[in-house]
Chains A and B, each alone.
Chain A
């Protein structure tokens, strides 16, 4: 096989590419990394709105004012940490120039950003758990109070069932968050990892 001959044919080949007259004529990107960024852009306002709406839960569930301090201490912690995570997502979204370096550096950068975002999504999801457990706890407590009962008055069987339900719910949520991030980022991260391994061989 004569590569020099091939090169000559390669160089003489006509470049049949349509370059648009304006940038506006370019269609929307279908690139997987761009798709992730786009879905992040869509999720961003929803996440902010959710954090704001969670502040109104005590009104929605008619918590007695004596419980506000418990609820809002937990809420403020959740809101502050949420801002940190949302800022991280925003930085990933705004990042430019990831394709301009040499291939190894660019791929490492993209790979690490994907992995970091996976971790961010997971810990952001886990972070919501304690607050929701506190909220559910308060709702259950208030419902029992309304019926003239208390948590200490629950039978041992009910208490064990409650603990089991919390455990199953927590495990279910953690598993779904992990599976979801793997579904969104996992395949791309794995393929990039494979290419990076090939580079080191």
Chain B
């Protein structure tokens, strides 16, 4: 692909880098894994960019590639699950890149999300990004009703996880 295409691509990705950051926060729990995942998403975005016809918004397309890449990044997923089994039930809020200025609630939320399965992570990610049930369903390939049910179950699950660890807000 030409250098102009490359420049356009990098500019668009830069404008929507929040998607990259948040998807990696949801799907990876260490700084190293997050950087790896961001890298993978960027690679897949670039590889798929030739198929992007502009029929939909760039952000819509980017959401799908980011989540589909994160879900299928299976090796890291397994590693993380293994670590989880050994991890203590109580969250360590001050994670390695914890910044005291950051809100504690969000940090607790991110920690709880690590206990979800890949599909639940996608559901909660789209919800946090402000998408409707219809949009969540459309991105995941589910009906609006199924998306609603899955979102409610995921929210409940997060609440239960947080409660179990002794936090409540």
Contact between chains at A99 and B162 (CB < 8 Å): no
Least CB distance from A110 to B in Å reads: 6
Is A175 in contact with chain B by the CB < 8 A criterion?
A: no
Q: Which residue of B has the minimal Cβ distance to A109?
A: B68
Q: How many A-B residue pairs have CB under 8 A?
A: 145
Is B93 in contact with chain A by the CB < 8 A criterion?
A: no
For A30, give its contact among B20, B40, B72 (CB under 8 Å). Answer: B40
Is B168 in contact with chain A by the CB < 8 A criterion?
A: yes
Q: Which residues of B contact A17 (CB under 8 A)?
A: 17, 20-21, 24, 38
Contact between chains at B119 and A195 (CB < 8 Å): yes
Question: Given the interface contacts A96-B50, A99-B68, does A16 sit within 8 Å of B21 by beta carbon?
Answer: yes
Report the interface size class on chain A.
35 or more
Least CB distance from A31 to B in Å reads: 5
For B13, give its contact among A5, A19, A198 (CB under 8 Å). Answer: A19
Residues 39-63 of chain B: 1 if any A CB is under 8 Å from the residue's CB, otherwise 0?
1101110111011100000000100
Contact between chains at A29 and B43 (CB < 8 Å): yes
Of the A-B pairs whose beta carbons lie under 8 Å apart in the complex, a sample of 15, sorted by A's number, is A1-B159, A6-B105, A13-B106, A15-B17, A17-B21, A20-B10, A22-B6, A26-B43, A101-B141, A104-B141, A191-B74, A195-B71, A195-B118, A199-B140, A199-B142
Within 8 A of B (CB), among A95-141: 96-107, 110
Is B91 in contact with chain A by the CB < 8 A criterion?
A: no
Contact between chains at B159 and A21 (CB < 8 Å): no
Chain B interface, number of residues (Cβ within 8 angstroms): 60
Is A82 in contact with chain B by the CB < 8 A criterion?
A: no
Contact between chains at A100 and B67 (CB < 8 Å): no
User: Complex formed: what's the CA distance from A1 to B167 in Å?
Assistant: 10
Q: Which residues of A contact B14 (CB under 8 A)?
A: 19
User: Complex formed: what's the CA distance from A108 to B64 in Å?
Assistant: 14
Q: Which residue of B has the minimal Cβ distance to A110?
A: B72
Q: Which residues of A contact B69 (CB under 8 A)?
A: 31, 99
